[in-house]
Structure 1
Amino acid sequence: MLIHGGKSRLLLIELDDMGRAGLPASLVAYEKPIRDIVEWASGYLTQPHPEIGRRGHVCPFVKSSMNKGLFYLAVQPGVPGDLLEVAESLRAYRDWFIELAAANGPAAHYTTILVLFPELPPDQVSGVIDGAQDLLKADYVSHGLMIGEFHDGPPAKPGLWNPDFRPLRSPVPLLAMRHMVPTDFPFLKDDPEYLAQYLERYGRELPPQAAKDAVEAAREFGLEALLERSPE
């Protein structure tokens, strides 16, 4: 269990905590959704899927994140009043994420935080989770991060290799944060601000499968100069 030094109200659950005597009193009521997400991560995200349309795990990064002890969970209790309340709650975890990643050295890119919203009524799940992701994406991308929405709707976004597959289904509503990586190009290519942030970081280390499309997108948005910059 990690407790933020300056904000004791913030807790991050580590995978090892699930095998210990018990969760702190403030989280006991949420043990089932926490365990459901740990099982979902290990049984779905880290496994191949017949509908995904490519080889490999559903999420290529989660298994390494879990194995390296950099996979954390948090619980946001109750029902937020609006999306701004969600954004404010997530801001503290985003800042903590940046601190944790900075301390992880070469393994920083495997840092992952999932923030669970186990008490959202079913009729509010999509509005809160999808809406918050849409609201927060620009801010996260500007910090070199990605934020993803997961729930049992599921979110409408299709898989990259199979448009009929809905990869973002999860048993508990949550928002997930991780570092941007070179293979995130497809998620950022259609917006000039997102693409600029991506090219600032990876303009000279584009993954082979994205290089041609990235050059074309850079030309379309007048961002060719970013292809010549050194990565951060």
Structure 2
Amino acid sequence: MLTHPSDPRRVLVERSDLDPMALPPDLRRYEIHLRATFDWGRAYLTNPHPDLGRSGSVCPFVSASLKRERFFLAVHPGTPSDPAEAVDTMRFYRDWFLELAPRSQPSAQITTILVLFPDVPQDAVEPLVDDVQAMLKPEYVGQGLMIGEFHNGPPAKSGLWNSDFRPLRSPVPMLVVRHMVPTDYPFLRDDPEQARMYLELFGDQVPAQLRDQVERERAVGAP
């Protein structure tokens, strides 16, 4: 378990912390949510899915993240009074993430922070999680990061290889922080500024399966 150096109320939980008595008292009532999220990560994200539309696991980085204990969970207790509260929370964890996993660090790509919102009522989950993700995505991308939304709605975004698949379903509402990676172009291509940031980071690392698409869209956008 990691405790923030300037705010001891903020902790990041690792899989090995799930003994209820190892958790801080204010997190013990969330043990079931923490356990469900780790189980979801191991059972869903690290395995193939018949509706995914490609081979391989749902998320190719999670297996290493779990194995090397770079899969961190945080809990935001209660229901945010408004989106601004959740925005501030995610900015806090974004900044902590950058301290824990600067891009130059070898384990940066497999590091992630999942911020859980287990107390949010079901009818408020989608507007809160989806709206906060949309609000913060431009500034996250501007720092070379991605912010992902997950809940049991599930979010309306479809899979890249199967438009009928909704891959962002999770047992607990959450927002997820990670580094941008070369395969993220399809999530950024519709916004010129976000596509530009992607090319600044990965212009010489574009995966083979995306090169034609990237070059075609760069040519269309050129003056």
TM-score (norm 2): 0.96
1:220 aligned onto 2:220: yes
In 1, Cα distance between the equivalents of 2:77 and 2:131?
18
CA RMSD of aligned residues (A): 1.4
**Residue type of the partner of 2:180?**
M
**Mapping of residues 1-232 of structure 1, within 5 Å:** 1-19=1-19, 21-102=21-102, 105-222=105-222
In 2, Cα distance between the equivalents of 1:112 and 1:192?
26
Identity of aligned residues (%): 51
Tell me the number of residue pairs that the alignment of Structure 1 and Structure 2 aligns: 223
Structure 1 residues 64-102: Cα deviation after superposition (integer angstroms, max 9, x where no partner): 111111110000011112211111011110000000002
TM-score (norm 1): 0.93
In 2, Cα distance between the equivalents of 1:32 and 1:185?
35
2:103–2:179: 8 Å Cα contact kept in structure 1? no
In 1, Cα distance between the equivalents of 2:82 and 2:139?
18
Secondary structure of 1:131's partner? helix
In 1, Cα distance between the equivalents of 2:136 and 2:190?
17
- Following superposition, the deviation at residue 19 of structure 1 comes to 4.6
In 1, Cα distance between the equivalents of 2:121 and 2:142?
31
- Following superposition, the deviation at residue 103 of structure 1 comes to 8.8
In 2, Cα distance between the equivalents of 1:88 and 1:221?
34
Structure 1 residues 113-140: Cα deviation after superposition (integer angstroms, max 9, x where no partner): 0000000001000000001110010011
Secondary structure of 1:115's partner? strand
2:20–2:28: 8 Å Cα contact kept in structure 1? no
- Following superposition, the deviation at residue 45 of structure 1 comes to 0.5
Secondary structure of 1:8's partner? coil
In 1, Cα distance between the equivalents of 2:214 and 2:221?
11
Q: After the TM superposition, which parts of structure 1 deviate over 6 Å for at least 4 consecutive aligned residues? A: none
